[in-house]
Amino acid sequence: MSTIISGTGSYIPSILKTNKDFVNNSFYGEDGVLINTPNEEIVEKFKDITGIYERRYADANMNTSDMATEASKLAIQDAGIDAETIDQIIVAHNFGNVLPGTIQTDTIPAIASRVKHQLGIKNPNCVAYDILFGCPGWIQGVIQADSFIKSGMAKRCLVIGAETLSRVVDAHDRDSMIFSDGAGACIVEAAPKNSTSGILAASVQSHCADETYFLYLGKSYHPEAGDETRYIKMKGRKVYEYAIKNVPLAMKECIEKAGVDIKEVKKFFLHQANEKMDEGFIKALFKLYGTREVPENIMPMSIHDLGNSSVATIPTLYDMVKHGKYPEHELNKGDIVIFASVGAGMNINAICYRV
């Protein structure tokens, strides 16, 4: 039995935040000492490293569950299905709902339960639950949906990645410029008979020794900040070194499981965390295959104008490419694509998929 992604949808928040908006911030180091480098230089260096020049934030009337619902409506419409026929709603996130002006995460009820409620689904056999898997959460949700469908325990699942990271960042931390908000959703279901499309293979790893706390919640870098409020923190250099070593290996394992030649892969949909890091993944992967020649136009990117919305980066990017929002990238029936991500845990996963 093959499992396909039959519909996709995304929600891109309305508030545009450019790099210039951070010029008046007071940035401190991890040691609580004010960084004396002019903010214009900090922002410019940030853009050179990450590729980000703007990002999107959710407005005060939108929360993680709301964005997830809007993306889901579009995915359901795109798939042409009745929402009452969905067997599982799987929502990947890391912080749940965070009300504007607060830092407390809200996961009771689960975000998936709220989405089911907001979609108006009455079927009690539609099971709604959340998963926490760092930035690779949406891919992991698709892997779970694929497993449930192939086991016969479900026929159709709604998988969502949604996050409002703008509400859990420390304004005094340079890394706060990386993060953004958004939501992406897809319908995963059993493929029709004689379909050639579907998930070909997947690979997943968790490294939980020293890597466990490369991303964590910590106090603000401002020296007068109290210990009671925690923000998302990242050991950027360690994350980069870990990811550049392990993500290409996970992608290669996935490709080999699928029995696919690297030359057959048309597009790589990678977690949008850092432009140079993603480029490094692809170069390292092709090097594992004995070549330094990377095909042109093989890696769509949204990080430049959408930033890093964690679990939402890949499903939003795939949806936007699929629906022609990036005309330089095109998907055709039969194309083989790779989804791959890395994030808190530390976790890594990849899917090889034939469109």
Mean pLDDT calculated for residue range 291-307: 93
Residues 6+ apart with CB under 8 A from 13: 56, 57, 58, 59, 62, 67, 180, 181, 182
Q: Percent of the chain scored above 90 by pLDDT?
A: 90
pLDDT at 166 over 80: yes
- Round the average pLDDT of the chain to a whole number and report it: 95
* The pLDDT value given to residue 65: 98
pLDDT of residue 324: 94
Q: Is the pLDDT of residue 156 over 80?
A: yes
Residue 174, classified by CB atoms within 10 Å of its CB into exposed (0-12), middle (13-18) or buried (19+), is: buried
Nearest of 70, 157, 59, 162 to residue 111 by alpha carbon: 162
| Pairwise CA distance, residues 127 & 125, whole Å | 6
- Residue 186: both structure tokens together: 């897809």
pLDDT average, residue stretch 145-163: 96
Distance in angstroms (rounded) separating the CA atoms of residues 113 and 118: 9
pLDDT band at 229 (very low <50, low <70, confident <90, very high): confident
Per the CB < 8 A criterion, the answer to whether 134 and 347 are in contact is: yes
- At residue 1, does pLDDT exceed 80? no
Report pLDDT for 123.
Answer: 97
Structural domains in the chain, CATH included, are: 3-190 (3.40.47.10), 198-354 (3.40.47.10)
pLDDT, tens only, 135-149: 999 999 999 999 999
The kind and range of the H/E element at 277 are helix 275-288
Question: Which pLDDT does position 224 carry in this prediction?
Answer: 87
Lowest mean pLDDT of 42-46, 146-150, 309-313, name the range: 42-46
pLDDT digits (tens, 9 = 90+) for 68-122: 999 999 999 999 999 999 999 999 999 999 988 777 888 999 999 999 999 999 9
The pLDDT of residue 228 is 79
Max distance between CA atoms of the chain, in angstroms, equals 64
Provide mean pLDDT across the span 217-238. Answer: 89
Which one-letter amino acid corresponds to residue 62? Answer: M
Return the pLDDT at 271: 96
Q: Is the pLDDT of residue 220 over 90?
A: yes
DSSP lists the bridge partners of residue 56 as 16
Q: Average pLDDT of 31-59?
A: 93
Q: Where are the alpha helices (DSSP H) in 120-272?
A: 137-151, 236-258
DSSP 35: P
Kindly indicate the confidence band of residue 266, based on its pLDDT and cuts at 50, 70 and 90: very high
Rounded Cα distance between 191 and 249, Å, is 29
**pLDDT above 90 (res 316):** yes
**pLDDT at residue 194 greater than cutoff 90:** no
